Amino acid sequence: MAEERLQKIIAAAGVTSRRKAEELITQGAVQVNGALVTELGTKADLARDHIRVNGKLLQGAERHRYYMLNKPRGYVTTVSDPEKRPTVMEFFERLKNAGRVYPVGRLDYLSEGLLLMTNDGSLANLLTKASTQVEKTYLVKVSGKPTEEALEQLRTGVMIEKGRYGSREGRVRTAPVQIKLIREGENPWYEMVLIEGRNRELRKMFEEVGHHVEKIRRVGFGPLVLDLPPGELRELDEQEIAALDRVTRKRPVKKAPETEAHASSAVPSPAPPRFASERPIGKGPAKLPKAVSIKRTGGVARPGATSSAKKYGAAPRTFSRPGASRPKPSTPKSGPRGR
């Protein structure tokens, strides 16, 4: 067996994510053949070397598992929360043979929708790398009607605050996005496709053009399309896993400079990504606001899949949150609504 980086071996064994594994190494919690290792980049061979994490001997890589979860509002996308808020891990607590899985990317506390969960650290790392440019599709409800000029600003990129609010890390330019109106009204809904995942990016983008975001629902992640009601999850099939792997092998498009200082010398922007409805692979229709539909142009549907909200629960290998009745799919209401 060939040598691999320690953090990759630890993540593959299901101990934690690769990023957390790197923290364990630098904190002095990892030993190789009895010697303490604190340097990132150290390699080892699990078939030959004895690797211990917090004193526990690694037994080898566990079977990779991949799940799609429709995260409801009011849950934190993390393994544990110091503020004791509900986390997405609660949906897996009583699920037999789920393994130790971790979220790929994040959805903030007030956002909902498609969240990929896996113990495949290598794939998770590739899917979240900025250079991979994996497309994420969202339905966004906005307070007030943005002008066409404001929408064009968002399409080409706007300067937003970098990092968390108040972090004073400076400002960066967002990558080009696709925006399509899918429901008119005083508080319209838009379908948006992004190729990056900055902290609260959608909310910050609309704030820059003078509008508050009321709701965010992710309905697409790479080739995956959300086909579950809130609070339910299912395992991905082999075709979906292979499609995710192919996404990570695409040659990335060169991005424009991100900092405000380099904005004037920007190189040509990458081609805008396609909408979820135009992607060739998917499991079924995304859950859209009432009376709005997306026409698909092709793809392979899961056997038994249907566009009826009443039959969402018919997906194979679908699991509900333990101890709770299965929630009904939510449908955004039209008409004005306060913040």
Enzyme catalytic residues: 108
Query: 134 with 23: CB under 8 angstroms?
Result: no
Question: For residues 174 and 201, what is the distance between their CA atoms, to the nearest angstrom?
Answer: 8
Residue type, 133: Q
Angle at 15 between CA 240 and CA 53, to 5 degrees: 155
To 5 degrees, how large is the angle CA 257–CA 263–CA 266? 55
Could you give the C-alpha distances from 40 to 7, 43, 45, 293, in angstroms and in order?
A: 8, 9, 15, 49
Length of the chain: 339
Q: Residues 67, 104: contact at Cβ < 8 Å?
A: no
> Which helix or strand (DSSP H or E) is residue 247 part of?
helix 238-248
